[in-house]
Amino acid sequence: MEIRGRLESNDLRRMANELRQYEVSLQAKIRTLLERLADKGVYAGQTTIGNFGKYVTFSRHTDGLGVVVVAQETNVIVSRWLRGREEMEAIVSPLLMAEFGAGPHAIVWEGVTGNSNTLPDGTPIGRGSFPEQTHAFESSWWYMDLNKHWHQASGVKPTRPLHNAMIEIINTVNATAREVFGNG
C-alpha cells in the first residue's frame, strides 16, 4: 500500500484516514488468515483421528487474543480386564492414544524434563502407561476380559491428529496468506 500527499492539512487528514482504513483492513485480513489456517488444522485433525473420532472433537476457538485449534475429549475410555481373579481398570485418553499410540506402535516422546513418555505434570503416556504394564514392547499379547474370554491385543498405531493439524497449518501458511492478502 502506498499513501501519497502533500504536507498540507487537507492531505494530512486524508492520508491519516487512509492509514486508519488500511489498519482496519489489515486487522480483518489477519483475522481471516488465522481463521482459515485454524480451519485447515481442524479439518486435518478430524480426518486423521481415526477410530477415536467418536471420543474427540476438533474446533476453532476465536477470542480477542487470537484463534486456536481446540482438540477436546468428549469422553475417556475405561479399560477393564482380569489378571488372575483380580479386576484391573485403567482410564485411557483417546486423544493421547490417537496421537502417541500404544504397545509396540507407540511413539516414544521425549518429555520436557527429559523423561520419555511423561507429560510435564508427570502423567505417563504411551508404552508402559497401563498399571503394571508387562507387554508394552511385545508385538502382541493376550488379556482376559471380565467375562473370562481371552483376546489378543497388538497395541494401537498412532494416527497423529494434532501433529497432522500442525503440519497442515505450517505447509499451507504461505499459500493461504497469498489468498488472503494477494500476491503483492
Enclosing domain of residue 122: 1-184
Q: How many domains does one find in the chain?
A: 1
How many other CB atoms are there within 10 angstroms of residue 129's CB atom? 20
Q: Return d(Cα 164, Cα 45) in angstroms, integer.
A: 6
pLDDT over 70, % of the chain: 83
Q: In this predicted model, what pLDDT tens digit does every residue of 55-108 receive, in sequence order? A: 999 999 998 778 899 999 999 999 899 988 999 888 888 998 899 887 777 776
List of long-range contacts for 84-90, beta carbons under 8 Å, 24+ apart = 87/146, 88/131, 90/129, 90/130, 90/131
The pTM is what?
Answer: 0.76
Asked if residue 126 has pLDDT above 70, the reply is no
Residue 91's beta-bridge partner residues?
A: 78
pLDDT of residue 66: 84
Dump pLDDT digits (tens) for 72-82.
999 999 989 99
Checking if the pLDDT of 146 tops 70, the result is yes
Angle (CA) 45-51-55 rounded to 5° is 75
Using alpha carbons, select from 170, 153, 174, 154 the residue that is nearest to residue 162. 170
